[in-house]
């Protein structure tokens, strides 16, 4: 039997939501969702090294509060508690995905830690148990633990159906300097609907999209009913992407990141440069992913 490596590194990608419906409130207080998750090539860098005991986290590139509350730290602790392993982990996390932007950065970091740390154990747990452990940390974590970079999410987003991936497509991410609290976004949507806004329904996106044209035809995000009106930067970003020819252009998650899909990389690069100058905040040309990055052995 081959011994596990001592350390692994993995790129933890962001996600966008190509479709997001917020449906009825569940008995547990959460809302029923239907969404299409798509991974994109804006990544945090995560490395995990097996140590004798305990969990340590080195965080580079961002100040996200107490380290023990970070999802990457919590993921390592949760895996140790689940497995009862007599080991520990030293996690190094370099942040590039902005927090509070609807891009799933914290969830992706947690999934990367779970994948890497689990592979470092002599007796790793199976994928279903790992996914359930991820769901206990956050609704988006199972997507990043899944087998496909395109997936339909239902329930709180944690029940996944892996879909055939689409050809990689150029994306422009626009990042207004806005932190949208998820709870506040849900509360605003509930208030708007109670006041006569669009009522939740259970119409769904239908069959798995086979082309980006089908994605554009179905694309929607229910949080656009309320979030852009409360944040001028988000409203400007969406308007600028749509005026630049993005199809679709949407808010991701509850915001504040916005994204647009373009026909070719050259156009995406030009649009990103133009919007950076016009809007005064980051715009990044990247691409969708057709598969998740694989963990790599760290030598030495």
Q: pLDDT per residue over 101-126, tens digit each? A: 889 999 999 999 999 999 999 999 99
Q: What is the mean pLDDT of residues 146-157?
A: 90
140 is catalytic: yes
Q: Which of 44, 109, 115, 140 is catalytic?
A: 140
pTM given for the model = 0.91
Domain map (residue ranges) of the chain:
7-164, 170-287
Burial of 35: CB neighbours in 10 Å, binned 0-12, 13-18, 19+: buried
Residue 189's alpha-carbon distances to 175, 212, 226, 236, 250, in angstroms, are 22, 28, 6, 20, 17
Residues 47-103: tens digit of each pLDDT: 999 999 899 999 998 766 778 889 999 999 999 999 998 889 999 999 999 888 889
Asked if 78 contacts 133 with a C-beta cutoff of 8 angstroms, the reply is yes
Give the burial string for 267-295 (b: 16+ CB within 10 Å, else e).
Answer: bbeebbeebeeebebebbbbbbbeebbeb
For residue 33, which of 139, 166, 108 has the smallest C-alpha distance?
139
Q: What is the pLDDT of residues 257-295, one digit of tens each?
A: 999 999 999 999 999 999 999 999 999 999 999 999 988
What SS3 class is residue 51? strand
Superfamily of domain 170-287 in the CATH hierarchy: GHMP kinase, C-terminal domain (3.30.70.890)
Report the alpha-carbon distance of residue 108 to residue 146 in Å, rounded. 11
What per-residue confidence (pLDDT) applies to 203?
47
Least Cα distance to 21 among 12, 34, 39 occurs for: 34
For the question of residue 15 being annotated catalytic, the response is yes
Sheet holding 170-174, edge to edge: 249-251, 258-261, 170-174, 283-287
C-beta neighbour count of 24 within 10 angstroms: 10
| Catalytic hit among 15, 44, 115, 222 | 15
- Rounded mean pLDDT, 197-201: 52
Name which CATH class applies to 7-164. Answer: alpha beta
d(CA 44, CA 61): 10
| Beta strand residue intervals within 54-156, DSSP E | 54-60, 88-94, 150-155
Neighbouring-strand partners of residue 288? 40
């Amino acid at each position: 039997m081959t011994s596990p490596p001592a350390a692994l590194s993995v790129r933890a990608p962001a996600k966008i939501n190509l479709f997001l419906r917020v449906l009825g409130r569940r008995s547990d207080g959460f809302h029923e969702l239907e969404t299409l998750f798509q991974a994109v090539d804006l990544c945090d860098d995560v490395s995990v090294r097996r140590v004798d005991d305990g969990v340590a986290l080195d965080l580079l590139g961002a100040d996200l509060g107490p380290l023990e509350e970070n999802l990457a730290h919590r993921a390592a602790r949760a895996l140790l508690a689940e497995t009862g392993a007599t080991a520990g982990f030293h996690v190094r996390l370099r942040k590039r995905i902005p927090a509070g932007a609807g891009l799933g950065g914290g969830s992706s970091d947690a999934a990367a830690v779970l994948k890497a740390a689990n592979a470092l154990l002599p007796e790793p747990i199976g994928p279903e148990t790992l996914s359930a452990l991820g769901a206990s940390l956050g609704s988006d974590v199972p997507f990043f633990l899944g087998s496909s970079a395109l997936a339909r999410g239902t329930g709180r987003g944690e029940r996944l159906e892996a879909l055939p991936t689409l050809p990689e497509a150029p994306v422009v991410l626009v990042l207004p300097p806005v932190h949208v609290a998820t709870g506040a976004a849900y509360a605003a949507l509930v208030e708007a609907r109670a006041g006569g806004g669009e009522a939740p329904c259970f119409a769904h996106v239908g069959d798995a999209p086979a082309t980006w044209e089908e994605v554009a035809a179905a694309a929607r995000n229910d949080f656009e009913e309320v979030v852009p009106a409360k944040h001028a930067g988000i409203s400007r970003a969406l308007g600028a992407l749509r005026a630049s020819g993005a199809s679709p252009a949407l808010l991701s998650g509850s915001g504040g990141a916005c994204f647009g899909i373009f026909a070719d990389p050259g156009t995406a690069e030009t649009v990103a440069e133009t919007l950076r100058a016009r809007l005064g905040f980051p715009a990044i040309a990247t691409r969708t992913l057709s598969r998740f990055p694989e963990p790599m052995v760290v030598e030495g």
